[in-house]
């Protein structure tokens, strides 16, 4: 829980009226560069060097032509990208991601009774605020990042020295919706949520321990799904790669109505790197290839 400082303010946009702006890849590159992502442009597409020498599209589900999947730097031992529909027969792997089926039909009533009750209770407990400037989170948001990361190190934390710059970049040009959850003077959680090419990414949510007890993780996703459904240009809602080794997280997503979808993709891997990943990092290998047998299934 983060106490809001007396001078901090939280401009309000009603989330029930909000719609997602549609970003371009260059907008996403500008914003993500501020948090330290290693981004390279090649043939008009933007690639994220997630580990030295391995590249994936910054916009994960961007459809690529075969001639666009070229090494963006000389040192490149692997890369992966989703293929355009006409070239899907050239795929050698799939990208497994959590998506919302039938997004236009999403509603609170689609969830089970217990989750409906928890979300409605959470709505009574907190104020939901769509911010139009970063002041509130710069003042009190990083403790929530630490708490969320302690529970789940895969939450891809923003480094403390880059936190303010990352937030400022989100508001200095086309960027994400930033949702804050407040209880009185206390900031209990926040999330960032963006759309590009008709695909909405429920990118990251940082809910503190106090907010978890109020089921703000459920509330946060419900709000994001509702905004995505309302945005006419959005046809797909994505909520991360399939982390099959985290049964609790996968169960949470399934109960929220998400399924695992496989997107035909092309992966190039140096043979030695592929063999090493398959045996030493089988779950990472699965996320690179979608090959479920790689971890002994």
Q: What's the pLDDT at 149?
A: 86
The domain locations on the chain are 2-23+99-260, 25-96+261-295
Topology, domain 2-23+99-260: Aminopeptidase (3.40.630)
The predicted pLDDT at position 171 comes to 94
Q: Is the pTM of this model over 0.85?
A: yes
Q: State the pLDDT at residue 288.
A: 75
DSSP characters over 139-206? HHTHHHHHHHHHH-GGG-PPPHHHHHHHHHHHHSSS--EEEEEEETTEEEEEEEEEEETTEEEEEEEE
Dihedral sign of CA atoms 253, 142, 12, 235 in order? negative
CA angle at 12 for the pair 6 and 16, rounded to the nearest 5°: 145
Cβ contacts of residue 112 below 8 Å, gap of 6+?
255
Provide the residue-wise pLDDT of the chain in tens; the chain has 297 residues. 554 443 344 444 688 889 999 999 999 999 999 999 999 999 889 999 988 999 999 999 999 999 999 999 989 999 999 999 999 899 998 899 999 999 999 999 999 999 999 999 999 999 999 999 999 999 999 999 999 888 876 666 788 999 999 999 999 989 999 999 999 989 999 999 999 999 999 978 999 999 999 999 999 999 999 999 999 999 999 998 888 878 887 888 888 889 999 999 998 888 887 777 777 778 777 777 776 544 444
DSSP codes joined into one string, 73-114: SSS-SEEEEEEPGGGGGG-SEEEEEEE-TTGGG--GGGS-HH
| 183 C-beta neighbours (distance < 10 Å), count | 16
Beta strand 54-57 pairing with 78-83: parallel
- The secondary structure element, H or E, covering residue 223 is helix 216-230
Instruction: Report pLDDT for 291.
Output: 66
Pairing of strands 93-99, 177-183: unpaired
Counts for the chain of helices (H) and strands (E), in that order: 10, 14
The confidence score (pLDDT) of residue 13 equals 66
Per-residue pLDDT at 295: 40
- Which residues, including other chains, have CB under 8 Å from residue 166's CB and lie 6 or more apart? 31, 34, 35, 158
Cβ atoms of 75 and 52 closer than 8 Å? yes
């Amino acid at each position: 829980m983060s106490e809001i400082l007396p001078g901090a303010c939280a401009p309000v946009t009603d989330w029930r009226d909000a719609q997602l702006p549609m970003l371009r890849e260059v907008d996403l590159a500008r914003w993500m560069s501020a948090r330290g992502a290693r981004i390279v442009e090649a043939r008009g597409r933007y690639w994220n060097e997630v580990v030295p020498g391995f590249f994936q599209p910054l916009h994960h589900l961007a459809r690529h032509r075969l001639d666009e999947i070229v090494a963006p730097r000389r040192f490149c031992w692997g890369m992966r990208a989703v293929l355009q529909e006409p070239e899907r027969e050239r795929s050698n792997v799939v990208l497994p991601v959590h998506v919302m089926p039938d997004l236009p039909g999403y509603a609170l009533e689609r969830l089970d009774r217990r989750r409906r009750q928890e979300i409605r209770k959470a709505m009574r407990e907190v104020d939901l605020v769509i911010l139009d400037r970063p002041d509130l989170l710069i003042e009190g948001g990083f403790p929530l990042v630490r708490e969320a990361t302690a529970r789940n190190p895969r939450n891809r934390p923003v480094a403390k020295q880059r936190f303010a710059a990352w937030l400022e970049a989100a508001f200095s040009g086309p960027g994400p919706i930033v949702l804050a959850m407040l209880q009185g003077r206390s900031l209990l959680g926040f999330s960032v949520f963006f759309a590009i090419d008709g695909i909405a990414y429920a990118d990251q949510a940082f809910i503190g321990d106090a907010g978890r007890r109020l089921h703000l993780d459920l509330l946060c996703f419900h709000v994001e799904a509702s905004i995505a459904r309302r945005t006419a240009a959005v046809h797909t809602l994505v909520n991360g790669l399939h982390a099959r080794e985290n049964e609790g997280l996968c169960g949470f997503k399934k109960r929220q109505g998400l399924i695992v979808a496989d997107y035909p993709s092309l992966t190039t891997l140096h043979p030695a790197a592929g063999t090493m990943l398959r045996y030493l990092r089988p779950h990472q290998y699965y996320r690179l290839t979608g090959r479920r047998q790689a971890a002994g299934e």
